[in-house]
């Protein structure tokens, strides 16, 4: 890019003004990536609609704004975070809470659960487990198109580090709750690294909530490494308010015979963009990518999925469904890339969308790029409305139209929810979606923090 846009310049200045402080609080290994990432970001800039991957999403509304950036945690705020309780009844999960992208130091920066799983601050981990971090950090978040990933690498100062050692099967899921709470409008970036070693099993739930009504921008990158024969489940529940912008980039790298699933459930949010990258790097790996989004008012929800089959005999599945109401807009951009040597690939992709009003808008772009011949790939996409015949069927059995519509939409959404393996969470999600479809769910109803 020859001329740097005004919006991009904002973030270049932010970097230049603060880089010394950031370097001061982060570990040297993580710092060693910054300069290069910054140069890359300078080149790519904040994505505009001219960028093919962001064709349907205009980020300027949120990016062209004065935010306060926090590079260091404010300890006093953690009292608030400590009050937060997840309201999923019966969810048996070990939880940690992040506030504005920082791991609370109250509970110690890095600790080990009895089952051997390490969890804590990435910054701390880089000091304590330099080998592990050096082996994996920055290795999977590779992109030549998305400047925001590089912006994160250049400036993110902390995030969650999770290490599941070889052979450890974690029955109890781990829940990470990302809270945003501030009096001012803030921009925050966090960086997560999840390492699941050989023969292990691990489930992670990430919940995104906002607790105060300001304008927030979050740009998060998560790297996950899934070792041989391992299982990894990632469930992301997003429930933020209408002036929050959440951008997540998740990179999942899989080794031989591993199974990884990602499930993005977007219930609420002003502007949500989830980019999920699956790299099937070992033979016979399996990846599943699910997503459900429910949008209304002026919300915009964009799901981007890239599945790369780099090794033979792998299987991948994508299922994304959306319901759009009012003037909400949605976008789906899914790509399956089969590399020349990845023979024996099975890859499926489906995107179904329902528009409830004339002002709602959906753009979808399912893509296949295939360079091997022994493959079975298919994709399908539909945009439509509720089936008249089904509605009539229900009405003819004495169910009123409003109820029948909700039932049909619920059935539509449930196809994604049923892939959640944790029963308590699945039920809770069904519940939330039902409430959401009835228009009863406001953000605060599910929140335990009394904002006053």
Contacts with other proteins, residue ranges (CB under 8 A): 52, 56, 340, 343, 353, 355-358, 360-385
The whole-angstrom separation of Cα 141 and Cα 148 is 11
Residue 329 Cβ vs other proteins, minimum distance, rounded to whole Å: 9
Residue 385 Cβ vs other proteins, minimum distance, rounded to whole Å: 5
Residue with tokens 């950090």: 137
Residue 359 Cβ vs other proteins, minimum distance, rounded to whole Å: 8
In this complex, which beta carbon is closest to other proteins, that of residue 184 or of residue 374?
A: 374
The whole-angstrom separation of Cα 379 and Cα 336 is 9
Residue 240 Cβ vs other proteins, minimum distance, rounded to whole Å: 26
CB-based burial, 303-332: b 16+ in 10 Å, e otherwise? bbbbbbbbbbbbbbbbbbbbbbbebbbbbb
Residue 380 Cβ vs other proteins, minimum distance, rounded to whole Å: 5
Q: How far from 120 is each of 42, 105, 193, 219, 331, CA to CA, in Å?
A: 31, 9, 10, 19, 34
In this complex, which beta carbon is closest to other proteins, that of residue 15 or of residue 56?
A: 56
The whole-angstrom separation of Cα 152 and Cα 70 is 13
Contacts of 398 (CB under 8 A, 6+ apart): none
In this complex, which beta carbon is closest to other proteins, that of residue 190 or of residue 273?
A: 273
Residue 373 Cβ vs other proteins, minimum distance, rounded to whole Å: 4
Residue 353 Cβ vs other proteins, minimum distance, rounded to whole Å: 8
In this complex, which beta carbon is closest to other proteins, that of residue 59 or of residue 338?
A: 338
Residue 448 Cβ vs other proteins, minimum distance, rounded to whole Å: 36
In this complex, which beta carbon is closest to other proteins, that of residue 14 or of residue 381?
A: 381
In this complex, which beta carbon is closest to other proteins, that of residue 191 or of residue 335?
A: 335
Taking residue 105's Cβ as centre, other Cβ atoms within 10 Å add up to 13
The whole-angstrom separation of Cα 449 and Cα 444 is 9
3-state secondary structure of 271: strand
Residue 300 Cβ vs other proteins, minimum distance, rounded to whole Å: 14
Residue 393 Cβ vs other proteins, minimum distance, rounded to whole Å: 18
Residue 127 Cβ vs other proteins, minimum distance, rounded to whole Å: 45
Among 115, 237, 229, 239, CA closest to 172: 115
In this complex, which beta carbon is closest to other proteins, that of residue 176 or of residue 356?
A: 356
The whole-angstrom separation of Cα 432 and Cα 418 is 14
Write the DSSP string, 42-80: HHH-S--TTSGGGTT---HHHHSS--EE-SS--GGGHHH
The whole-angstrom separation of Cα 126 and Cα 315 is 34
Contacts of 376 (CB under 8 A, 6+ apart): 345, 346, 347
In this complex, which beta carbon is closest to other proteins, that of residue 47 or of residue 120?
A: 47
Q: At what angle do helices 147-155 and 34-44 cross, to 10 degrees?
A: 150
Q: Give yes or no for a contact between 99 and 181, defined as CB atoms under 8 angstroms apart.
A: yes
In this complex, which beta carbon is closest to other proteins, that of residue 21 or of residue 401?
A: 401
Half-sphere exposure of 311 (CA within 13 A, CB side): 18
In this complex, which beta carbon is closest to other proteins, that of residue 269 or of residue 366?
A: 366
Q: How far from 235 is each of 331, 335, 393, 419, CA to CA, in Å?
A: 20, 20, 35, 10
The whole-angstrom separation of Cα 219 and Cα 426 is 27
In this complex, which beta carbon is closest to other proteins, that of residue 20 or of residue 388?
A: 388
302 phi and psi, to 5 degrees?
A: -125, 125
């Amino acid at each position: 890019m020859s001329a740097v846009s005004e919006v991009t310049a904002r973030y270049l200045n932010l970097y230049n003004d603060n880089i010394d402080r950031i370097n001061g609080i982060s570990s040297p290994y993580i710092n060693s990536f910054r300069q290069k990432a910054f140069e890359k970001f300078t080149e790519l800039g904040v994505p505009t609609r001219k960028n093919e991957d962001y064709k349907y999403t205009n980020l300027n509304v949120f990016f062209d704004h004065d935010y306060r950036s926090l590079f260091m945690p404010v300890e006093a705020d953690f009292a608030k975070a400590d009050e937060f309780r997840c309201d999923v009844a019966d969810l048996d999960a070990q939880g940690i809470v992040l506030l504005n992208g920082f791991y609370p130091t109250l509970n110690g920066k890095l600790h080990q659960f009895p089952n051997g799983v390490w969890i804590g601050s990435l910054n701390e981990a880089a000091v304590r487990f330099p080998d592990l971090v050096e082996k994996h950090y920055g290795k999977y978040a590779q992109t030549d198109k998305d400047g925001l990933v590089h912006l994160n690498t250049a400036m993110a100062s902390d995030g969650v580090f999770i290490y599941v050692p070889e052979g450890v099967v974690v029955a109890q899921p781990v829940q990470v709750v990302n809270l945003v709470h501030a009096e001012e409008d803030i921009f925050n970036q966090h960086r997560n690294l999840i390492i699941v070693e050989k023969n292990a099993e691990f489930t992670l739930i990430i919940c995104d909530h906002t607790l105060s009504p300001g304008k927030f921008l979050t740009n998060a990158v998560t790297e996950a490494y899934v070792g041989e024969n391992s299982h990894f489940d990632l469930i992301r529940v997003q429930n933020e308010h209408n002036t929050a912008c959440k951008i997540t980039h998740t990179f999942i790298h899989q080794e031989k015979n591993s199974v990884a699933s990602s499930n993005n459930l977007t219930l609420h949010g002003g502007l949500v963009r989830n980019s999920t990258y699956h790299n099937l790097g070992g033979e016979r790996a399996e990846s599943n990518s699910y997503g459900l989004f429910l949008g209304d008012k002026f919300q915009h929800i964009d799901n981007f999925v890239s599945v790369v089959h780099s090794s033979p005999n792998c299987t991948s599945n994508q299922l994304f469904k959306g319901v759009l109401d009012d003037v909400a807009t949605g976008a789906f951009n899914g790509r399956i890339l089969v590399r020349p040597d990845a023979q024996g690939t099975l890859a499926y992709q489906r995107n179904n969308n329902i528009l409830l009003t004339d002002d709602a808008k959906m753009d979808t772009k399912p893509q296949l790029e295939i360079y091997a011949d022994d493959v079975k790939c298919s994709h399908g996409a539909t945009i439509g409305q509720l089936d008249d015949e089904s509605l009539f069927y229900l009405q003819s059995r004495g169910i009123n139209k409003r109820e029948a519509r909700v039932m049909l939409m619920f059935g539509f959404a449930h196809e994604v929810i049923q892939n959640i393996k944790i029963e308590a969470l699945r039920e809770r999600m069904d519940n939330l979606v039902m409430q959401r479809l009835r228009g009863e769910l406001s953000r605060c109803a599910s929140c335990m923090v009394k904002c006053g």
